Amino acid sequence: MAMIAYKCPQYKVTVVDINTERIDQWNSEDLPVYEPGLDGIVREARGRNLFFSADIQRGIKEAEIIFVSVNTPVKEFGAGAGMAADLQYWEKTARQIRDVSDSYKIIVEKSTFPVKTALAMERILTSDSNGVGFDILSNPEFLAEGTAIKDLEYPDRVLIGSRYTQSGLKARDELMEIYANWVPNERIITSNIWSSELSKLVANAFLAQRISSINSFTALCEKSGADITEVARVVGMDSRLGPKFLNASVGFGGSCFKKDILNLVYLCRHYGLEEIADYWESVIGINDYQMGRFVLTMLSAMFNTLAGKRICLFGFAFKANTGDTRESPALNVSKRLIAEKVELVITDPKALNNAMKDLDGIEGKVSYVEDPYEASAHCDAIAVVTEWGLYANLDFKRIYEAMVKPAFIFDGRNILDHKELFEIGFNVFPVGKPPLTHFK
């Protein structure tokens, strides 16, 4: 919404939320999310044509177009628990829009919803609605965290799904007009509403599958002497495949991939498509396996016991350039290490507060230290879990000297210079490459 307001001063954009504390933060100098470039855009548009308010009723009444961007977490109760999307927030929102509206509105599904959600929304909006008309559009968001501003400013594509009725197409054209203020026409694509809803889930499933695919070959590389970076380079130079999203890692995280695939799996099972559900579920299976394997590698490398050892996690965010820790591999790895009775020291430039919240209540020895030199001192091992650029530029000689010997590094992101680390004295365990150790 900040980007729309920034690019289109002729529109008034009001963001409303039931969480007043969050709205206050959006109105303050200290925004509630860390996202490179966002501050500047909000500062430019806020108070001009971008407003943040907790007055939801007024927001609904005054708007001609409403973007529904409520969260759709994985359901934690009842049928479909742990898999299906929890739709209670959007349902409440749909009812509130219906009850408060006194003029025609275009309702845009911005959150990622299971396919066919628009139908349920239509049914709620048109039952008992005092004759007020609504058109529903699906306009999924493809931005990735950390690169959100660039992704919004230069999107690969903007997708708008609509009904093919006269008013549905007119509503679609109005939304296209907004994006046309900065997105080239050929990148604004349209489809029917169900394709649009499904495409978002499918796009995320493909991206996650690519990571699981490359990760599935890492164990074989470590055993055979092949190097996953070299293999990925060869695969990625096939112009049919392309080089992106082929970085082997400790596993993928983030608020979308796992949730969206679980949704897709649930949907497939609902329609009796067991084989398809199993196929996509295995993408998550490989990811879990990869995170577990990372810890098992640590265990076997460090003489089959981790109890009482100090291990420093480099990074807790689910990826670099964000403070977000949702579904972060770091959380999974931390829990497994704590179960091994490790003394954990966590460092991260942006995610320490979230890390503390995530591990709150878990029994074990955990400390949080912002400075990586201080964090790794007196540790037996370092495990790189987030690919923060700063970790590649540290003085590892200094780090090595302050560590317990033999000192280990497990590079879950392959961002360090492994040969150099080995020469300093570390025993080095990359992902998908044979380890470099000083043991005979």
Question: Residues with catalytic annotation?
Answer: 256
Is 256 a residue that touches ligand UDX (CB under 6 A)?
A: yes
The residue within the footprint of ligand UDX, chosen from 6, 26, 113, 252 (CB under 6 A), is 252
Among 221, 228, 246, 262, binds ligand UDX (CB under 6 A): 246
- Cα 404 to Cα 421: distance, rounded to the nearest angstrom: 15
Tell whether residue 332 is a contact of ligand UDX (CB under 6 A): no
3-state secondary structure of 10: coil
State the nearest-atom distance from the C-beta of 92 to ligand UDX, in Å. Answer: 24
Spatial distance between the Cα atoms of 418 and 376, rounded to a whole number of angstroms: 17
Among 138, 162, 249, 263, binds ligand UDX (CB under 6 A): 249
Q: Closer CB to ligand UDX, residue 8 or residue 331?
A: 331
Nearer to ligand UDX, 196 or 249 (CB): 249
Neighbours of 168 (CB within 10 A): 18
Q: Does 145 bind ligand UDX (CB under 6 A)?
A: yes
C-alpha span between 417 and 63 (Å, rounded): 54
CA distances to 7, 108, 153, 231 from 121, in Å: 29, 11, 29, 47
| 117-126 helix and 193-216 helix, angle to the nearest 10 degrees | 150
Copy the structure tokens of residue 181. Answer: 């203020």
Stretch 380-399: interaction string toward ligand UDX, x if CB under 6 A? --------------------
Which of these ranges, 10-18, 70-78, 249-257, 430-438, lies near ligand UDX under the rule CB under 6 A?
249-257
Residue 286 or 302 with smaller CB distance to ligand UDX: 286
By CB under 6 A, tell whether 247 contacts ligand UDX. Answer: yes
| CB of residue 232 to ligand UDX, shortest distance in Å | 9
- Helices H / strands E in the chain, number of each: 18, 13
Question: Is residue 396 helix, strand or coil?
Answer: helix
Rounded to a whole number of angstroms, the distance between the first and last alpha carbons of the chain is: 59
Nearer to ligand UDX, 319 or 433 (CB): 319
Size of the site for ligand UDX (CB under 6 A): 19
Q: Quick one: tokens of 437?
A: 């150790």
Q: How far, in Å, CA of 432 to CA of 440, rounded?
A: 21
Q: Of 14-22, 252-260, 389-397, 414-422, which part binds ligand UDX (CB under 6 A)?
A: 252-260
8-45 exposure pattern, b = at least 16 Cβ within 10 A, e = fewer = beeeebbbbbeeeeebeebeeeebeebbeebeebbeeb
Interface region with ligand UDX, contact rule CB under 6 A, candidates 8-16, 87-95, 254-262, 390-398: 254-262
Rounded to the nearest whole angstrom, what is the least distance from the CB of residue 255 to ligand UDX in the complex? 6
Choice between 171 and 232, CB closer to ligand UDX: 232
Q: How far is the CB of 90 from ligand UDX (least distance, A)?
A: 18
* Cα 280 from chain centre: 18
CA angle 79, 359, 253 (to 5 degrees): 60
Nearer CB in complex with ligand UDX: 40/243 = 243
Task: Identify which range of 79-87, 115-123, 244-252, 395-403 contacts ligand UDX by CB under 6 A.
Answer: 244-252
Of 54, 74, 144, 276, the residue at the interface with ligand UDX (CB under 6 A) is: 144
Q: Which residue is nearest to ligand UDX (CB)?
A: 254
- CA-nearest of 221, 354, 349, 343 to 293 is 221
For position 253 contacting ligand UDX by CB under 6 A, the verdict is yes
Cβ closer to ligand UDX: 217 or 245?
245
C-beta closer to ligand UDX: residue 50 or 385: 385
Of residues 89, 142, 194, 400, which one binds ligand UDX by CB under 6 A?
A: 142
CA–CA distance, 398 with 169 (Å, rounded to integer): 63
Site string for ligand UDX, 177-206 (x = CB under 6 A): ---------------------------x--
Write out the DSSP string of 103-120.
S-EEEEE-S---TTHHHH
Instruction: For residue 101, give every residue at least 6 positions away whose Cβ sits within 8 Å of its Cβ, in sequence order, or none.
Output: 60, 61, 129, 132, 134
Backbone angles phi, psi at 100, to 5 degrees: -95, -25
Write out the two tokens for 432.
Answer: 């998908």
Site for ligand UDX in 270-329 (CB under 6 A): 318-319
Binding residues for ligand UDX, per CB under 6 A? 141-145, 204, 207, 211, 245-247, 249, 252-254, 256-257, 318-319
